[in-house]
């Protein structure tokens, strides 16, 4: 494996590590095709970039690719500790400030290709990004799942670039000191959904989103989001906020263009609104902030027993 050139950023507290050079050659197919090749033949790159001792559980990765459409600023494949992702809202904001840091884009509107489809964004300032996500929709409303030791939990299943189960049922207040309890609760829901075979159109739900009242004035709700692999999202979660907008739109609880401010478990925020897209779908728009943290070269010594990362759970 060649040395990996990476740029690290965080979006409202959630880290992203983008491989800008040294990654595998995945050919010239679309991002979904390249993602499949990455997962099948180059998973050692994902593990090397994200797993301890070079990474940590909350770190989300991305591979910068040349786009199929030359009008796009870039192509990108997102991944985390558990595997490949279709899209990543916070990661796209991190990608935007990374491309600006590299001198590849300036303020204004741009598009990137993702495995979930093309996504547009606007770089508003050095650290503020507005993204127009892929179409989001509610797949199933008010479903019930029997969670062992927790009882019946009701919620919606929605797509926002990833599959989410969204519920207002919570075991405690959505405060940072309760993160271990919330993690266990969300994981129990995830396990129960998987056991029951409940999911979206193309597979099982892979994110759990628990909602409650906001912690501070100016927000509409606070959420705790459990991501694949068992880490919680430090940001308000871009694809999760998109899924929430889809549910609100389906319920008639949020009008097109009306602002929804989503707060994360640590108090950071995304501002969001949507426009209808037809066939019960919406196009979400989200605004958040991201900052460059580091630029580095990741080295891999063949004699290192943890060259491909450590399996820490």
Which residues are part of the catalytic machinery?
88, 237
Question: Using the 8-state DSSP alphabet, how is residue 178 labeled?
Answer: G
Residues constituting the chain: 313
Residue 129 tokens read as 């990004």
Question: Across-strand partners of 211?
Answer: 223
Half-sphere exposure of 260 (CA within 13 A, CB side): 29
Region label for 230, one of left (φ > 0), alpha (ψ between -120 and 50) or beta (otherwise): left
d(CA 30, CA 143): 35
d(CA 273, CA 284): 6
d(CA 19, CA 39): 15
Q: Is 240 helix (H, G, I), strand (E, B) or coil?
A: helix
d(CA 15, CA 11): 6
Residue 194 tokens read as 């998987």
d(CA 218, CA 36): 41
Judge whether 17 and 275 are in contact, CB under 8 Å.
no
Judge whether 47 and 38 are in contact, CB under 8 Å.
no
Q: Please name which of 237, 241, 217 lies closest in space to residue 227, comparing C-alpha atoms.
A: 237
| 81 CB-near residues (< 8 Å, 6+ apart) | 50, 51, 57, 59, 228, 229, 230, 231
């Amino acid at each position: 494996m060649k040395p990996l050139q990476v740029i690290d950023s965080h979006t409202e507290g959630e880290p992203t590590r983008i491989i800008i050079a040294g990654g595998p050659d995945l050919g010239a197919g679309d991002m979904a095709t390249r993602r499949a090749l990455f997962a099948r033949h180059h998973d050692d790159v994902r593990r090397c970039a994200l797993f301890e001792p070079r990474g940590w559980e909350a770190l989300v990765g991305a591979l910068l690719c040349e786009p199929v459409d030359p009008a796009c600023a870039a192509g990108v494949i997102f991944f985390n500790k558990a595997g490949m992702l279709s899209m990543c809202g916070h990661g796209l904001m991190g990608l935007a400030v990374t491309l600006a840091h590299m001198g590849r884009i300036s303020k204004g509107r741009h598009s990137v290709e993702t495995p979930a489809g093309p996504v547009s964004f606007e770089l508003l300032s050095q650290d503020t990004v507005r993204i127009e996500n892929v179409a989001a929709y509610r797949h199933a409303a008010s479903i019930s799942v029997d969670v062992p030791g927790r009882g019946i939990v009701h919620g919606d299943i929605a797509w926002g670039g990833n599959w989410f189960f969204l519920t207002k049922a919570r075991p405690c207040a959505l405060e940072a000191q309760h993160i271990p309890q919330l993690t266990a609760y969300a994981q129990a829901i995830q396990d129960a959904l998987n056991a029951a075979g409940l999911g979206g159109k193309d597979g099982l739900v892979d994110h759990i989103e628990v909602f409650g009242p906001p912690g501070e004035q100016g927000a509409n709700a606070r959420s705790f989001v459990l991501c694949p692999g068992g880490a919680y999202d430090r940001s308000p979660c871009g694809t999760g906020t998109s899924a929430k907008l889809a549910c609100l739109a389906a319920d008639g609880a949020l009008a097109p263009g009306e602002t929804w401010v989503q707060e994360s478990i640590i108090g950071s925020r995304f501002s969001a609104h949507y426009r209808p897209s037809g066939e019960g779908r919406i196009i979400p728009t989200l605004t958040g902030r991201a900052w460059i943290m580091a630029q580095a070269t990741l080295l891999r010594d063949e004699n290192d027993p943890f060259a491909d990362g450590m399996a820490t759970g």
